[in-house]
Amino acid sequence: MRGTNAIIDLDAIGHNLKVFRGVVGPAVALMAVVKAGAYGHGAIEVARAAVGYGADWLGVATAEEGTELRMAGIEVPILVLGASNADQVRLALAQEIDVTVFERFSWEAIKSEAHRQGIKPRVHLKVDTGMGRVGVHPSEVVSYWIPQLTRGDVIWPGLMSHLAESDADDPAFTRRQLTRFLDVIEQIRLSGTPLPPTIHLANSAAALRYPGTHFNLVRIGIGLYGAEPYPGATGLKPAMRLESRVTMVKRLEPGDSVGYGRTYVLDKPASIATVAVGYADGYRRALSNRAFVLIRGRRCPVVGRISMDQATVQVPDDLAVQAGDRVILLGCDGDAKVAVEEWAEWAGTISYEVLTGISPRVPRRYLASRGDA
């Protein structure tokens, strides 16, 4: 075993779900968003744990992701948050997975496939209230979409939108999106059409900060995994620890350099430890000469370029390190910690990309439940 593993604490997922349950109360459904392999944590394992801890819905990006969960025997409602083409609609219908509709072309595919199978599709209508990405224009909801969705051969379980800036300090744009969403709801009411049973707008950040966005379901992604949904959010437990091993320790002299391109040159003698992780594992090259790792509870700087399968760190003079020592790339070691937000900043990205970027080469190992989430 190479010793480079992502250790997933499913009780942390349970803890985080409880935090969201506490914030939204008992009447609002919780959707655990497990797209992209549960943000790199493992879709099936996280989905099972989340359902066990009280998630009412699961959110995925594609019909394929939803099918994987159904094949694992998961029976709670699943919603495909992204686009579905005709092939994907076929899968979704076969697995009783809800799909999102946000434009007319795929809607035609959904209708014709459903008709062919003699099945009523379950569709959530997504309205663009300001994300400027996918979603139908608010002005088309009553004129075009309501007649489509209230036909007898369709089931319309949900109306939704998505927020662009709920993690920002300034609430102005979130308020504007909420106002537009409420206006759509009001237009539907005025048209005399009953609202669908599920109305949803909030992601993790909005669920924590803006109670007015809860409606009757919130979609929890990043917060489920314990990363901060907005800067400074507290109370969530990170679910992933990433660890590796020291493969070699060597002594270098002043003037010696480390790694490709010789980007780090020693000005005094130092011990350099090589670690069994590289950019092919998701330990991105942008972390070169920027990141820190934890060895024996101490922060050690990554020096030189990160290569495909290896990284190099400088060992503090007063720390004894040897081949085989554990290296924490993400997570805690005693009182020392590398947070995903810190890593994201070193790499010039966001926690979402760090977590989903941990590559399939890194085995995911699951801590047995302690039952104390």
Ligand X SMILES: *Cc1c(COP(=O)(O)O)cnc(C)c1O
**Which positions are annotated as active-site residues?**
35, 260
Shortest CB 203 distance to ligand X, Å: 3
Residues β-bridged to residue 298: 295
Indicate the residue among 227 and 252 with the shorter CB distance to ligand X.
227
DSSP reduced 3-state for 112: helix
Gap between the Cα atoms of 281 and 287, Å rounded: 13
The residue of the chain with the least Cβ separation from ligand X equals 221
Q: Label residue 133 exposed, middle or buried (CB < 10 Å: 0-12, 13-18, 19+).
A: exposed
Please pick, from the candidates 16, 198, 204, 213, the single residue that binds ligand X as defined by CB under 6 A. 204
Backbone φ, ψ for residue 313 (5° rounding): -130, 150
Q: Compute how many other C-beta atoms are within 10 angstroms of the C-beta atom of residue 293.
A: 27
Indicate the residue among 134 and 276 with the shorter CB distance to ligand X.
134
| 203 makes contact with ligand X (CB under 6 A) | yes
Residues β-bridged to residue 7: 241, 365
Contact between 155 and 146 under an 8 Å Cβ cutoff? The reply is no
Indicate the residue among 35 and 122 with the shorter CB distance to ligand X.
35
Gap between the Cα atoms of 55 and 89, Å rounded: 24
Indicate the residue among 80 and 306 with the shorter CB distance to ligand X.
80
Shortest CB 296 distance to ligand X, Å: 34
Shortest CB 195 distance to ligand X, Å: 19
Closest residue by Cα to residue 246 from 270, 275, 271? 275
DSSP reduced 3-state for 137: coil
Indicate the residue among 61 and 266 with the shorter CB distance to ligand X.
61
Shortest CB 84 distance to ligand X, Å: 14
Indicate the residue among 67 and 204 with the shorter CB distance to ligand X.
204
Gap between the Cα atoms of 303 and 325, Å rounded: 18
CB within 8 Å of 27: residues ≥ 6 apart: 216
Closest residue by Cα to residue 347 from 284, 300, 289, 299? 284
User: How many binding residues for ligand X (CB under 6 A)?
Assistant: 11
DSSP reduced 3-state for 230: coil
Shortest CB 248 distance to ligand X, Å: 38
Q: Under rule CB under 6 A, which residues in 206-245 are in contact with ligand X?
A: 219-223
Shortest CB 356 distance to ligand X, Å: 10
Contact between 34 and 73 under an 8 Å Cβ cutoff? The reply is no
Q: Which residue has the tokens 């942008």?
A: 286
Please pick, from the candidates 10, 17, 33, 99, the single residue that binds ligand X as defined by CB under 6 A. 33
Closest residue by Cα to residue 58 from 91, 17, 26? 17
- The radius of gyration of the chain from alpha carbons, rounded to an integer in Å, stands at 24
Shortest CB 272 distance to ligand X, Å: 37
Q: What angle do helix axes 86-94 and 63-71 make, rounded to 10 degrees?
A: 30
| 19 makes contact with ligand X (CB under 6 A) | no
Gap between the Cα atoms of 147 and 36, Å rounded: 34
| 161 makes contact with ligand X (CB under 6 A) | no
- Give the contact letters, 48-87, x = binds to ligand X (CB under 6 A), - = no: ---------------------------------x------
* Binding region for ligand X (CB under 6 A): 33, 35, 81, 162, 203-204, 219-223
